[in-house]
Amino acid sequence: MRFVRTDVDVEIPATLSHIGSQDHATTLNRDGVSIGTVEHLLAALFGLGIDDVRVEVDGPEVPVLDGSAAPFVILLHEAGLRPLAVPRQLLRVVRPVEVVHGAKFARLLPSDHFEVGYTIGFDHPLLRHQSLALRVTPRSFSEQIAPARTFGFLREVELLRKSGLALGGSLENAVVIGETGVLNNKLRFDDEFVRHKMLDAIGDLALLGHPLLGRLEATRAGHALHAAVAKRLLATPGAFELLPAGAPSREPIEQVAPALRPAGA
Ligand SMILES: [Zn+2]
């Protein structure tokens, strides 16, 4: 997978070694040229089992759209997918690896499937604790994860605006959490927040460059920790193996797409 900045004619591979800034969003860069907010689009691609794509963008940031991956899933469905004659390799976790930062951690464990278990806890009455675990398939991703939107706290919105970030700083493309509740939107899921963190993690794991057989367990993590555990996996001898894979078994996405169009959203 690769991004192409068509405005400056630079190709940036979607791999861990091209990660730049990870404040609030994941940025990839190469030779001083960057592409920002790649994680929601990468999550849509990875979640649907797409691992070969050229993404052309005529500016420094992937459009945030509604702050979720659902618009990308719908567009990918409309564009259509086709298998390539190129052999695929699965990346299988063989031995656990983890990265711990105080109360935050991310670990990758062996599994026969791609699974994500995520726990969040914030110093806010709405978000003290949310936890969810899911086996990630094109269908479960499309229905359970893709529609979950970026969120931010009102107290941080001013800060984000000052730093020039659209993500989390606009009422149109993020769920904004005030002191007593959600300000601007009805939630798409009661636990939309943890689902969005799973979305972010899936997008960051896409930078491994292969479909993953393994389970991510993360608590209070974020982009930096997602990438750190993925890098640790690749840097730890004997922690992973590459297996030949057949074409992915595809659940028909046309049955999934309508579920992504929540009324009024
Ligand atoms: Zn996100």
pLDDT tens sequence across 209-259: 999 999 999 999 999 999 999 999 999 999 999 998 765 555 555 444 444
Extract the tokens encoding 2.
Answer: 């690769």
pLDDT single digits (tens) 198-210: 999 999 999 999 9
Distance (Å) from CA 199 to ligand 1 centroid: 7
Q: Which amino acid is at 78?
A: E
Distance 7 CA to ligand 1 centre (A): 25
**What is the predicted pLDDT for the residue at 123?**
83
Query: How many CB atoms lie under 10 A from the CB of residue 220?
Result: 17
The catalytic residue positions are: 223
- Other CB atoms within a 10 A radius of the CB of residue 18 amount to 18
The encoded tokens of residue 200 equal 């972010």
Q: Give distance in angstroms: CA of 238 to centre of ligand 1.
A: 31
Give yes or no for a contact between 62 and 18, defined as CB atoms under 8 angstroms apart: no
Q: Which residue has the higher pLDDT, 115 or 78?
A: 115
* Ligand 1 centroid from CA 106, angstroms: 17
More confident residue, 264 or 139: 139
pTM of the model: 0.89
User: pLDDT by residue (tens digit) across 151-180?
Assistant: 888 877 767 667 665 544 456 678 888 888
Instruction: Please tell me the distance from the alpha carbon of residue 11 to that of residue 13, in angstroms, as a whole number.
Output: 7
Q: How much of the chain, in percent, has pLDDT values that exceed 90? A: 67
